[in-house]
Structure 1
Amino acid sequence: MRLHRMTVTAFGPFPGTATVDFDELSAAGLFLLHGPTGAGKSSVLDAVCYALYGGVPGARQGMRLRSDHADPHTPTEVELELTAGGRRLRLTRRPEQPRPKRRGTGTTVEKAFAAMSEYRADSGGWKGLSRSHQEIGEEVTQLLGMNREQFCQVVLLPQGDFARFLRADAGERAVLLGRLFDTGRFAAAEEWLAEQRRLGEMRVRGHDEHLIALAHRMQQAAGATEDGQPLPQIAPGDPGLAERILEWAAVARADAREQADITRLALATAEAGHRAAERALEQAVETDRLQRRYAAAVARAAALDAHQQAHREAQHALERARAADLVAPALAVRDAALRDHDAARAAEHAARERLPDRWSGADAEVLAEEARRAGRDLGRLAAARRAEQRAAELVRERDALGREAAADEAAGRGTAARQAEWEAVRAAHQRRIDAAHRAATRTEQLAAALEVTRERLEAARLRDTLADEERAAARRLLHSREAAAIAHERWLELKERRLRGIAAELAAELKEGGPCAVCGSTDHPAPALPGAGHVDRTAEEAAHAAHRAAEATRERADAQLHTVRERLAAARAAAGDRDTDALVVELDDARRVHAAVRDEADDLPAAREQLEHAEREHAARLDEQQRVRSRAAARAARRDALERELASLSADMAEVLPDGATDVAEVEQQARLLAEAADAARAATATAQRLAQAEARLAETARREGFATPREAADAMLDEDTRQELRERIERQRAEQSAVAAELADEQARAAAAAPPAAPDARRAELDAATRLLTRASAADSAARGRRAQLDRLSAEAARRTAELAPLREEHARMRQLSYLAAGTSSDNQLRMRLESYVLAARLEQVAAAASIRLHRMSSGRYTLAHTDARAGGRGRSGLGLQVVDAWTGTARDTATLSGGETFFASLALALGLADVVTDEAGGVRLDTLFIDEGFGSLDDQTLDEVLDVLDQLRERDRAVGIVSHVADLRHRVPAQLQVVKERDGSTVRHRTTVPWPTR
């Protein structure tokens, strides 16, 4: 770390702007910061610390940063340029401070501000990196490798804190040295060893538990035996556990094999008995089957004898049906003739019923003669028929004239009534036209008022919509702000986690034989490993992108809210304070009134048209009245002519019609009925003759086929289903007789029937008993063989697990020894020193050696610092102890026994040695600028010369040391100076260069 330039404004005792050029001061390697007491020398160091960490050294915490002499309009600000980690940075910080309000009187509190920029050589300008207090603090801590307290101990040694590191205990020194030398990888190695020890222990214990589980499974497989050995009491981790389990398994397998041999012999005996019982049952079942078969054949023969009469009857009925089939054609002819005769008689009866009574009993010839006479009369009635048709036409025309007269009369009455109302109708139409004229004028007035109301309603609706949008936009802005804050915190968290694990990320890029990007070494003995929750660059960049997206969303939400509020203000100005519902009601009322008036105005063309139509109808009614009068006169003359022609036709028809006939149609009907009755009588006579002939032929055929009467032949006839059923019954009877005869003739069945009754149930019970015995023997044999196989398999698995466990147990023993050794708890670790403490002890030993070179010269060869591994007070762990060796007495004593001046230069030597070792450490933090605040007043002239000589030698390592002191002698010994001038209205700074005094 090297400081370049710092500018402070309204900070501490500086009311204006003060600039400190550290590059100019550091050119000589040693510079002096001096001024009177209270001038503000320590405030310059406070400003450096505040610019880096946002806070001042611990002893000055809580102090007021803003200058009491500053102008109210001048903000307090510190700007620092430095180089750290090879990067040139500019840090700007402003604390929370009051400022005058821009409007009105009084003050308001301005929030704290922080910004970090980086100088880019390629562009020749500064690029902003961050404005987050937390992010900037984390970045500075990562670059410098120290937090604020550690920075004040190693780089910025404030007044009164010279001996803090010298007198710190082992724990405090471990924290500081661990951050400076980055020994976290050794702590990680300790944790890794401990974790491997725990994992090894878990694996070994898991194998033991699996072996025990296998032993229990073997115990279950072996089963309980009277002479079997019980499973020994074992637990995970017991010595000789595997050997005891394998020994017990061998005994169990021997017992299982012996038991399997016993069950195998028992199974063979049970199988022989079962086969004998099966053969006895088969023989008994066969004998029983033959005996049942012969008995069934005897019963079937008896049943056949009982149904023999029915069998003969069926054969006789089938033979009679064959004879009746020969009579069937004659019977069908007789039945058809009978149906025809019955139909003819029914038709004759119906025809006679339609005749007059005088002809109902006449025979067919009489009826035929009367029909011929009626036909002759029809020729004479042709003229009468034509006269009758003309009379009907005249009657229809006369009726039509009557209807026309009635219609004209009704129309005339309606026309007269409408003509009487004409004047009132014309006046009503005129009034309608006048009202439409007035409504047209009012419509224009109402339309203008309606448009004003509509615009106010639209503005009110827009106002309400925008009010909802404003609330929604405000909620979106609030949510986007919260999301942006969460995304920002997430990004910072991931960035912090990535920075904490940056060593593992760098280690992931290492290649075998390639140089390290940090130290340049091509040997990578112990690269850092990612810890739990490690974050890589991709995750951090994704979180940063999410943060930028959330910020963009928040800005869009803010812009949307501003736009909505502007539109809402305009809508409120246009709508006023009227409620939207009230405006809706007002607009609806106005629309109804406007619509009603507009409809009335729109009625003007229709009203005019209806008036014209009414006038046309009035004129047409007048013309129609004239035409009705003309038609009435014509109808009267025509009616008289029709009446005269009807009278003449009636006289002609009376002369032509025969006596008793009223008209021609009656005569035509009589002739038709007589002809139909004559034809029906002749048909009935013919069918009677055909029926008599068919009956004679049927009687002859029946007697020839052996039937006494035709009725007997008809009764003997059978349908096809009945015949088929009789044939099947006869065939079954014959087949059954043949089968029964064969069964009764079987020699085996006859022999079985002669033997005693078989007893298959007894033989089946014997077989069931043999089967149960065989099942038990088979199950016992299967179980014994299964136990033997399972014991063999489990024993083999136990032997395999035992073989696998041996190297794991050896590896676990080695890892446990290494873990306890690294953790300092092993008996082999006599100093009880942890691995990280061991490394820090080596570093502290280097620091003590480097510090002793300067301390030896500062103390004129009397004192040196020595590292000790002795435990503090004989208790706890060791490794970070410091002692001062007095060459005058030859003894080593505690650093607390040094005097004030001795403590000062011992602390100074230790700080300088620490800076040297940290800088030389590969990958360590380079400390190019150191500050020493006071303490030089406790030194005599000779010691002061020695101290200054030592400090002057730092320029050889391109390091600058700033001395803060008001000792007057230093002004003549240090040429590069920064003077703090105290005045009544505040302090200022001046750069000075003096000629140094010659040193002694």
Structure 2
Amino acid sequence: MRLHRLEVEAFGPYPRREVVDFDALGADGLFLLHGDTGAGKTTLLDAVAYALFGRVPGARGQVKRLRCDLAPPDAPSEVVLELTVQGHRLRVARSPEYEVPKRRGEGTTTKKAKASLSWIDRPAQDQPAEGLTRIDEVSRTIQRLLGMSAEQFFQVVLLPQGEFARFLRAETTEREQLLERLFATQRFAGVERWFRDRRAARRQDLEVYRQSVRDCTARLAQAAQEEPPEDADPADWVATIRHRADQAVTEAEAAEATARSDREQVEQRLAERRERAERVRRVRAAHHNLTELAGQTAQRARWREELAAARRAVPVTGVAAEAERRAARLEQAVRAETDRVRDLVAMGADGAEAEVPRLRERAGRLREELGELSTLLGEAEQQRTDQTRLTELAATAAHAASQAEAITEKLAGFPERMRELRGLRDAAAEALVRVDGVRLRETELSELLTQANEVPALERAVRRAVDAEQRAVDRYQTARSELLDLRERRLNGMAAELAAGLRDGESCPVCGSVEHPAPAGPDGDLVGDAAEQEAAEAERIAGQGKEQAGGARQEAEAALDAALRRLEGQTAEELAERLTETKDELARLSKQGEGKARLEDLMAATEEESADLTTQRANAEREVASAQAERQALAGRVEERARRLEAARGEHADVAARRAHLVAVVEALDALAEARSARASAQQALDEQRAAVDTAVREAGFDTVEAARSAARADSAITELERRLSDAESAEAAARAVLAEPELSGVSPDEEVDLDAARESARQAQATAEAAVATLRAATERARTLERLAERFAEAEARLAPAEAEFAELDALTDVVNGRGQNARKMSLRSYVLAARLEEVAVAATVRLHTMSQGRYSFVHSDAAGSWGRRGGLGLDVLDDYSGAVRPAKTLSGGESFLASLALALGLADVVAAETGGALLDTLFVDEGFGTLDAETLDVVMDVLDELRAGGRVVGLVSHVEELRQRIPTRLRVRKARTGSTLELTA
């Protein structure tokens, strides 16, 4: 991968479009991004990262605030990068999401994030020639071409300031997290998880098998009604209980056969006695029935006489009852005729004594007169309807006139009301327009007030940081003075120290003589190597404390400076007062704007009401005219009809009353004629029925009707008499038939049969047999149950043994893979792979560290387990060739830590690039850290960086160190201006 051109606009601290030509800068293979602290050097690296992946590295990517605050409102925030990767030259453009002021009104609108990829020479395989415009497609294509993720790119191309120093001093867990992101060892974590999941699944299966064995054992114990022995073999115990169950079945079968034979013999004897007793009972019953029937002979003769008389009386009682019914009908007809005569007289009509034909003739004449009156009934009904209508029309005209007058008065006030509502609506609309701007101002003031309230704390933090830095400087100077003093004292006492080691007969390490005539003596206390090393370590620790305190002071001052710049001299009291005024204004505008919709609805309702009232007034006026015209036409017709109806009603109230009277007279005449005719017919029928009664009495042999009625019986009584006679005859025949049966011959009715003793013997035998059967059934069922459960127990045991062996093997292997159990180094599979990768990184980094430290330091990878049982495999120390000791990386000084971090970063970049199989990394950036190096070490580091550009690689350095400007002739300078950062390209 090689970068060619970068363009940024309204991005980070750059308000205007700036262009970086990497081809020109990297022509010599090495260039410098130089500028003051905070000038925006790292932002250029952020722009490269954002163009490729749509995000920026480190904590800056969490803020998601990429647009320049000083950019003009119409300037788009955009990053454009041209690069070559995998032999394809392409152009990537991205814009982040940001807020811009609205073109109309107050407030802001959101610009959505965009991305595009276009091919400058030729598209990659399976890619459209016109390029890509979807954000996700652009990101996937870039990552596929580079062959690495964003995290890997940030670590191997943009070597970040401070990141590898932290990695160098990190604990195993933190180092493992970074290496996992870089080397994509998720598949090994998946293997560990697969082993854990499979072990959990197999543990569940094993528990199922064990539970099955326990269940089978418990059910066997329940069926056998005994507890299994704790120290015996379960299989032997199962065989024992099955043998006892089989013996119990054999014994129960023998007992059941004996009891069944005894029961059959007893039941045979009982059956014989029951049969003899039944014969005796039948003979006794037959003799008893014949005796009772012989005593009923006279009674049966009376039943026969009563039945014959009842049968002869049936025809007499029937005709006599009909005669009584006809007499009752005649009496009813006479009463009806009398009532009709009385009704006709009450109506004032004459001719009530006339015969039936004269009555019907008079009714016919009255019907003809009714036909003439029926024609006038419709006119009379219409007359009443028209009179009611005249009254209604008068009331309708009066009501409509008053309604039209009231509506006219109400409409007079509508224009003024509409003008008032329109003014209130316009004011509410204006308030709504201003709400967004006031709310934005409220938010800004709230943020500024919060910032202002934090200023005292920031000032105190600055003072504390300054004091802490001063104390750290004092401690460093004190430690430095003590170290120099100890070294001077040791040099002064070096002769005495050497003399102390002289031995007679041994050569002097200085002059080589074996004689020591005047060895030097100590001048005060001697200073040993241990004391000097301890002082040097104290001086190093104090130096680190000074650097940390200085960094903390710079961060505190930067935070305070940023807060003061944003406040622009405004105090917290002023901001609080402005915020209160803004909140009051916002509340007032919000409340006023809330009524806009209600006012618009009220205006629409008022306009609609005005139109409705206008329509109602027109309708009322039309209704008045229509009612008056209709009333005038209807009044003439009513007057003419009244004269005709007056002549037709006669002496009655109206035509309907006269017609009703005539209808009642006609109906009375018809009813009287019908009643008179019915009375004559009833008299004739009664005379005929009485002659039939006399004939029936003589034919039945009775003297009178009353005698026939006395002999008569109800149908149920006749049926009962017939049943009694038939039952007596049937019983006598049945008894004689029983005594004539051959099997009852010789059976005496006085014979006694003992059934109770036979029944008791049979009951006892039955109970014994049933108990034997129940015992046999229980024994057989227990034996079958034990056999079935024994088979299940054997199957469960057969499944359990291989499952336990398989789980034991899987459990041990899972512990080893996850860094437990027999894994002596406590290294999981993932840690083992990462340890191998870290070892490769240490080898690659040692080559450069050995050069940059002038042969003193080398990286040493350690796979030993940590303290307190912590996992091992990711230890990283340094070998100091001066002392031959392996030291923790935390003991390196500031400059040494930078050299180790840079070597580690370069080595990691080489290993990750080879691991991912990605594109060749022709461009590399190193961000800061050069300020901790002295001139000699800086020369060595520059030689190493010169080696990096061998083969066409371009290396960009990011630093504010002034000395680098003299060493690198072609550079990119970043200058901080009043309105944002600018770029200067110089050669």
Compute the TM-score of the two structures, normalised by the length of structure 1: 0.57
Cα contact 1:153–1:165 (8 A) shared by 2: no
Q: Could you say if the C-alpha distance between residues 13 and 571 of structure 1 is closer, same or farther in structure 2, counting changes exceeding 3 Å?
A: closer
Q: Give the C-alpha shift of residue 989 in structure 1.
A: 1.3
Cα contact 1:25–1:976 (8 A) shared by 2: yes
Q: Could you say if the C-alpha distance between residues 897 and 82 of structure 1 is closer, same or farther in structure 2, counting changes exceeding 3 Å?
A: farther
What's the counterpart of residue 124 of structure 1? 130
What's the counterpart of residue 231 of structure 1? 228
Pick one of 920, 924, 927 that aligns with 1:933. 927
What's the counterpart of residue 199 of structure 2? 197
Pick one of 818, 836, 846 that aligns with 1:842. 836
Q: Give distance in 2, aligned partners of 1:71 and 1:176.
A: 36
Cα contact 1:157–1:933 (8 A) shared by 2: yes
Pick one of 757, 781, 798 that aligns with 1:762. 757
In the alignment, structure 1 residue 298 sits paired with structure 2 residue 287: yes
Q: Could you say if the C-alpha distance between residues 214 and 293 of structure 1 is closer, same or farther in structure 2, counting changes exceeding 3 Å?
A: same
Written as runs of structure 1 = structure 2, the 5 A alignment for 1:268-417 is 268-310=257-299
Pick one of 242, 251, 275 that aligns with 2:240. 251
Q: Give distance in 2, aligned partners of 1:837 and 1:868.
A: 12
1:495-552 deviations in Å (ceiling 9; x for gaps) = xxxxxxxxxxxxxxxxxxxxxxxxxxxxxxxxxxxxxxxxxxxxxxxxxxxxxxxxxx
The number of equivalent residue pairs is 702
What's the counterpart of residue 962 of structure 1? 956
Q: Give the C-alpha shift of residue 806 in structure 1.
A: 2.2
What's the counterpart of residue 904 of structure 1? 898
Q: Could you say if the C-alpha distance between residues 20 and 765 of structure 1 is closer, same or farther in structure 2, counting changes exceeding 3 Å?
A: farther
What's the counterpart of residue 517 of structure 1? none
Q: Give distance in 2, aligned partners of 1:259 and 1:127.
A: 89
Cα contact 1:11–1:66 (8 A) shared by 2: yes
Q: Give distance in 2, aligned partners of 1:169 and 1:315.
A: 131
SS in 1 for 2:241: helix
Q: Give distance in 2, aligned partners of 1:983 and 1:745.
A: 148
In the alignment, structure 1 residue 92 sits paired with structure 2 residue 92: no
SS in 1 for 2:870: coil
Cα contact 1:462–1:571 (8 A) shared by 2: no
Letter in 2 for 1:18: E
1:332-381 deviations in Å (ceiling 9; x for gaps) = 9xx99xx9xxx9xx9xxx9xxxxxxxxxxxxxxxxxxxxxxxxxxxxxxx
What's the counterpart of residue 476 of structure 1? none
Pick one of 599, 602, 622 that aligns with 1:598. 622
Structure 1 unaligned spans of 5+: 225-229, 235-242, 351-388, 401-428, 465-563, 625-675, 994-1000
Q: Give distance in 1, aligned partners of 2:639 and 2:262.
A: 132
SS in 2 for 1:124: coil
Q: Give the C-alpha shift of residue 129 in structure 1.
A: 2.7
Q: Give the C-alpha shift of residue 946 in structure 1.
A: 4.8
1:796-824 deviations in Å (ceiling 9; x for gaps) = 01111111222222221121011100111
Q: Give distance in 1, aligned partners of 2:774 and 2:95.
A: 91
What's the counterpart of residue 766 of structure 2? 771
Q: Give distance in 1, aligned partners of 2:815 and 2:864.
A: 20
Cα contact 1:867–1:881 (8 A) shared by 2: yes
Q: Give distance in 2, aligned partners of 1:612 and 1:708.
A: 88
Cα contact 1:304–1:733 (8 A) shared by 2: yes
Q: Give distance in 2, aligned partners of 1:57 and 1:882.
A: 23
1:411-437 deviations in Å (ceiling 9; x for gaps) = xxxxxxxxxxxxxxxxxx9xx99x99x
Pick one of 159, 165, 168 that aligns with 1:166. 168
Moved more, 32-41 or 803-812: 32-41
Pick one of 211, 216, 219 that aligns with 1:217. 219
Q: Give distance in 2, aligned partners of 1:825 and 1:922.
A: 30
Written as runs of structure 1 = structure 2, the 5 A alignment for 1:536-555 is none
Pick one of 180, 183, 206 that aligns with 2:182. 180
Q: Could you say if the C-alpha distance between residues 791 and 92 of structure 1 is closer, same or farther in structure 2, counting changes exceeding 3 Å?
A: same
Q: Give the C-alpha shift of residue 864 in structure 1.
A: 3.4
Q: Could you say if the C-alpha distance between residues 927 and 288 of structure 1 is closer, same or farther in structure 2, counting changes exceeding 3 Å?
A: farther
1:426-455 deviations in Å (ceiling 9; x for gaps) = xxx9xx99x99x999999999999999999
Moved more, 55-64 or 295-304: 55-64
Q: Give distance in 2, aligned partners of 1:721 and 1:67.
A: 121
Pick one of 787, 803, 806 that aligns with 1:808. 803
What's the counterpart of residue 825 of structure 2? 831
Letter in 2 for 1:876: R
Q: Give the C-alpha shift of residue 608 in structure 1.
A: 5.8
Q: Give distance in 2, aligned partners of 1:193 and 1:71.
A: 56
Q: Give distance in 2, aligned partners of 1:720 and 1:10.
A: 124
Q: Could you say if the C-alpha distance between residues 923 and 279 of structure 1 is closer, same or farther in structure 2, counting changes exceeding 3 Å?
A: farther
SS in 1 for 2:244: helix
Cα contact 2:33–2:974 (8 A) shared by 1: yes
Q: Could you say if the C-alpha distance between residues 757 and 455 of structure 1 is closer, same or farther in structure 2, counting changes exceeding 3 Å?
A: farther
Letter in 2 for 1:599: E
Q: Could you say if the C-alpha distance between residues 294 and 184 of structure 1 is closer, same or farther in structure 2, counting changes exceeding 3 Å?
A: same
Q: Give the C-alpha shift of residue 857 in structure 1.
A: 3.9
Q: Give distance in 2, aligned partners of 1:713 and 1:982.
A: 149
Q: Could you say if the C-alpha distance between residues 943 and 317 of structure 1 is closer, same or farther in structure 2, counting changes exceeding 3 Å?
A: closer
Q: Give the C-alpha shift of residue 257 in structure 1.
A: 1.1
Cα contact 2:148–2:916 (8 A) shared by 1: no
Letter in 2 for 1:601: A
Q: Give distance in 1, aligned partners of 2:797 and 2:813.
A: 24
Letter in 1 for 2:130: G
Cα contact 2:57–2:154 (8 A) shared by 1: no
SS in 2 for 1:231: coil
Q: Give distance in 2, aligned partners of 1:440 and 1:792.
A: 106
Compute the TM-score of the two structures, normalised by the length of structure 2: 0.57
Q: Give distance in 1, aligned partners of 2:844 and 2:868.
A: 27
SS in 1 for 2:802: helix
Cα contact 2:262–2:765 (8 A) shared by 1: yes
Q: Give the C-alpha shift of residue 320 in structure 1.
A: 11
Q: Give the C-alpha shift of residue 786 in structure 1.
A: 0.6
Q: Give distance in 2, aligned partners of 1:948 and 1:261.
A: 104
Written as runs of structure 1 = structure 2, the 5 A alignment for 1:512-527 is none
Q: Give the C-alpha shift of residue 980 in structure 1.
A: 2.4
Q: Give distance in 2, aligned partners of 1:10 and 1:883.
A: 45
Q: Give the C-alpha shift of residue 293 in structure 1.
A: 0.9
Q: Give the C-alpha shift of residue 913 in structure 1.
A: 1.5
Q: Give distance in 2, aligned partners of 1:714 and 1:61.
A: 124
What's the counterpart of residue 79 of structure 1? 79
What's the counterpart of residue 20 of structure 1? 20
Cα contact 2:147–2:917 (8 A) shared by 1: no
Letter in 2 for 1:301: L
SS in 2 for 1:765: helix
Cα contact 1:856–1:862 (8 A) shared by 2: yes
Q: Give the C-alpha shift of residue 901 in structure 1.
A: 4.0
Letter in 1 for 2:79: E
What's the counterpart of residue 267 of structure 1? 256
Give % identity: 35
Letter in 2 for 1:808: A
Letter in 1 for 2:877: Q
Q: Could you say if the C-alpha distance between residues 11 and 88 of structure 1 is closer, same or farther in structure 2, counting changes exceeding 3 Å?
A: closer
SS in 1 for 2:871: coil
Q: Give the C-alpha shift of residue 897 in structure 1.
A: 4.3
Q: Give distance in 2, aligned partners of 1:311 and 1:801.
A: 89
Q: Give the C-alpha shift of residue 773 in structure 1.
A: 1.9
Structure 2 unaligned spans of 5+: 335-357, 370-389, 425-593, 648-679
Q: Could you say if the C-alpha distance between residues 934 and 300 of structure 1 is closer, same or farther in structure 2, counting changes exceeding 3 Å?
A: closer
Written as runs of structure 1 = structure 2, the 5 A alignment for 1:494-509 is none
